[in-house]
């Protein structure tokens, strides 16, 4: 593809790296082995540096993604040649390089032959801790930064960085093979893979930091990978379909969540004609397929909540008692402070802001929530509706001070100003 001429080479390279970096690392690791994960990451980073150095002078290639892929492969293989242990295999490396570099990459690899999906299953190797599995998957395969991963787990960037170092060291020490597990092993790793895709989608749906609230490319990549899982006979389980339903139903509303000026549009103010009806239909079909199982997962319940919104003609007809019922069930399956906090929003719609505020301020172990802007924003909305503008203004400002995303910070500051009126 040829990029628009008006875009600078540095912007093109940065945007391309955000979209393709994780996929390139996964592809390299597929050929080099996971014990050389650091080499794969270093090669992709160096390829980006070379793009930033050469494209401003030589121009942007006709196919920038292919250029980055080729340079990454060459850099990785050059590094291997320099290693003494590989010198005895020079001929084999050269032959492999010739086969590899001339291989045409299919646009959409089917099922688990997709390198990104394969790498996800490798990250959830049972010899790694659950925390290390998720951190490694989100960093290496999904391309999320340690800060973004920390935000997803309500922990610090430093803690995530330590997890990643330990995980990579263990991979090197154990020389974990890059191979899709046997069909019989896929189900035991599937929950971890689905959790990683869920968090990847969430980061795209509402970015934890930066100048964009929505990163559609992350949402669509999460949907693409989940569709592949749903198409594979071993991983086509009700939980997979439920997660696919949740993603499709939420992604259907993406375009309506930001106005032309880049400002947040709250759900009750959104133009529902902008919602993607094709994605809504996909989501409802997937949710129907997910109902064939004997158990209900958190994805089923969250998809049910999303369906209530998508199937409502307008805000007034939204079935908030049903949504609250879904949250009640979700809290039993997933008793986390975040779920309890989100439930309070539905509680306010059904029983009013006073009861919702009491529930919010009574959440057990809410200390992690109090360090997050959403807690204070939700609290501010309840206090404002109860007619306490000064206290609401302070809560809005506290939320704005904690927000890491520029768009959210501006939105919260506006709300603080409104409560000053």
Q: Is the pLDDT of residue 15 over 70?
A: no
The model's confidence at residue 182, banded by pLDDT at 50, 70 and 90, is confident
Residue 312 tokens read as 């409502």
What local confidence, expressed as pLDDT, does residue 178 receive?
52
CA distances from 272 to 178, 214, 252, 255, 314 (A): 45, 18, 10, 10, 8
Using CB atoms within 10 A of its CB, is residue 104 exposed (0-12), middle (13-18) or buried (19+)? exposed
Q: Taking residues 124-140, what's their average pLDDT?
A: 85
Give me the DSSP letters along 354-398.
HHHHHHHTT-TTTHHHHTSHHHHHHHHHHHHHTT-HHHHHHHHHH
Task: Give percent of the chain above pLDDT 70.
Answer: 85
The model's confidence at residue 357, banded by pLDDT at 50, 70 and 90, is very high
CA distances from 411 to 33, 251, 360, 405 (A): 45, 21, 22, 10
| DSSP 8-class letter at 264 | B
Summarised one tens digit per residue, pLDDT across range 192-245 is 999 999 999 999 999 888 888 899 999 999 999 999 999 998 899 999 999 999
Nearest CA among 177, 71, 160, 201 for reference residue 123: 177
Better pLDDT: 384 or 185: 384
What distance separates the 2 farthest-apart alpha carbons in the chain? 77
Which residues contact residue 409 at a Cβ distance below 8 angstroms, ignoring those fewer than 6 apart? 400, 403
Measured in whole angstroms, how far is the alpha carbon of residue 310 from the centre of its chain? 21
Summarised one tens digit per residue, pLDDT across range 77-112 is 777 766 655 455 555 545 554 454 444 444 444 346
| DSSP 8-class letter at 409 | H
What local confidence, expressed as pLDDT, does residue 242 receive?
97
Q: Taking residues 306-315, what's their average pLDDT?
A: 94
Classify each residue of 202-227 as buried b or exposed e, where b means 16 or more C-beta atoms within 10 Å of its C-beta. bbbbbbbeeeebbbeebbbbbbebbe
Q: Taking residues 175-184, what's their average pLDDT?
A: 67
Using CB atoms within 10 A of its CB, is residue 288 exposed (0-12), middle (13-18) or buried (19+)? exposed
Summarised one tens digit per residue, pLDDT across range 238-286 is 999 999 999 999 999 999 999 998 899 999 999 999 999 999 999 999 9
Report the C-alpha dihedral over residues 46, 51, 57, 63, rounded to 10 degrees: 150
Better pLDDT: 84 or 392: 392
Residue 103 tokens read as 């291989």
Alpha-helix runs per DSSP H in 60-114: 64-82, 84-87, 90-101
Asked if 22 and 142 count as a contact pair (C-beta separation under 8 A), the reply is yes
Does residue 38 come out as left (phi exceeding 0), alpha (psi in the -120 to 50 range) or beta?
alpha
Q: What span, in angstroms and rounded, lies between the C-alpha atoms of 360 and 354?
A: 10
Using CB atoms within 10 A of its CB, is residue 292 exposed (0-12), middle (13-18) or buried (19+)? exposed
Asked if 30 and 36 count as a contact pair (C-beta separation under 8 A), the reply is no
The model's confidence at residue 4, banded by pLDDT at 50, 70 and 90, is very low
Classify each residue of 373-386 as buried b or exposed e, where b means 16 or more C-beta atoms within 10 Å of its C-beta. bbbbbbbbbbbbee
Asked if 53 and 174 count as a contact pair (C-beta separation under 8 A), the reply is no
Residue 59 tokens read as 């121009």
Residue 338 tokens read as 């975040």
Task: Give percent of the chain above pLDDT 90.
Answer: 48
Q: Is the pLDDT of residue 417 over 80?
A: yes
Comparing 13-17, 84-88, 113-117, 160-164, the range with the smallest average pLDDT is 84-88
What local confidence, expressed as pLDDT, does residue 105 receive?
45
The model's confidence at residue 356, banded by pLDDT at 50, 70 and 90, is very high
Phi and psi at 25, nearest 5°, equal -60, -45
Which residues contact residue 191 at a Cβ distance below 8 angstroms, ignoring those fewer than 6 apart? 239
Tally Cβ neighbours within 10 Å of residue 107. Answer: 5
Q: Taking residues 376-394, what's their average pLDDT?
A: 95
Q: Is the pLDDT of residue 419 over 60?
A: yes
Q: Taking residues 46-65, what's their average pLDDT?
A: 79
Residue 221 tokens read as 């990549």
Using CB atoms within 10 A of its CB, is residue 372 exposed (0-12), middle (13-18) or buried (19+)? buried
What local confidence, expressed as pLDDT, does residue 267 receive?
92
Asked if 247 and 233 count as a contact pair (C-beta separation under 8 A), the reply is no
Asked if 315 and 268 count as a contact pair (C-beta separation under 8 A), the reply is yes
Which residues contact residue 379 at a Cβ distance below 8 angstroms, ignoring those fewer than 6 apart? 357, 360, 361, 395
């Amino acid at each position: 593809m040829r990029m628009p001429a008006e875009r600078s080479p540095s912007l093109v390279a940065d945007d391309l790296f955000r979209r393709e970096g994780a996929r390139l690392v996964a592809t390299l690791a597929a050929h080099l082995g996971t014990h050389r994960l650091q080499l794969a990451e270093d090669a992709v980073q160096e390829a980006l540096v070379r793009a930033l150095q050469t494209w401003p002078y030589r121009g942007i290639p006709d196919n920038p993604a292919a250029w980055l892929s080729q340079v990454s492969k060459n850099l990785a293989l050059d590094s291997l040649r320099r290693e003494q242990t590989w010198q005895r295999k020079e001929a084999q490396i050269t032959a492999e390089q010739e086969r590899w570099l001339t291989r045409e990459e299919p646009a959409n690899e089917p099922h688990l032959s997709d390198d990104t999906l394969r790498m996800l299953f490798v990250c959830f190797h049972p010899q790694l801790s659950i925390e290390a599995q998720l951190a490694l998957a989100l960093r290496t395969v999904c391309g999320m930064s340690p800060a973004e991963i920390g935000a997803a787990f309500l922990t610090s960037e430093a803690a995530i960085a330590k997890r990643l170092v330990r995980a990579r060291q263990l991979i090197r020490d154990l020389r974990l093979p890059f191979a899709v597990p046997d069909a019989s092993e896929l189900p035991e790793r599937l929950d971890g893979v689905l959790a990683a895709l869920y968090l990847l989608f969430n980061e795209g749906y509402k970015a934890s930091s930066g100048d964009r609230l929505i990163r559609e490319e992350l949402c669509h990549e999460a949907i693409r990978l989940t569709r592949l899982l749903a198409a594979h006979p071993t991983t086509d389980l009700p939980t997979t379909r439920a997660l696919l339903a949740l993603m499709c139903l939420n992604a259907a509303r993406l375009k309506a969540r930001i106005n032309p000026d880049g400002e947040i549009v709250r759900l009750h103010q959104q133009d529902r004609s902008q919602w993607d009806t094709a994605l809504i239909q996909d989501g409802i079909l997937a949710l129907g397929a997910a109902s064939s199982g004997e158990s209900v997962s958190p994805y089923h319940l969250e998809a049910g909540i999303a369906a209530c919104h998508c199937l409502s003609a307008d805000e007034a007809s939204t079935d908030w008692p049903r949504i609250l019922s879904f949250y009640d069930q979700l809290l039993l399956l997933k008793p986390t402070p975040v779920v309890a906090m989100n439930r309070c929003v539905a509680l306010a719609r059904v029983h009013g802001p006073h009861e919702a505020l009491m529930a919010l301020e009574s959440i057990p172990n809410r200390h992690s929530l109090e360090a997050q802007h959403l807690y204070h924003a939700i609290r501010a909305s309840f206090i404002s509706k109860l007619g306490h503008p000064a206290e609401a203004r302070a809560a809005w400002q506290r939320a704005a001070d904690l927000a890491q995303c520029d768009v959210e910070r501006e939105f919260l500051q506006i709300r603080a100003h409104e409560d000053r009126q």
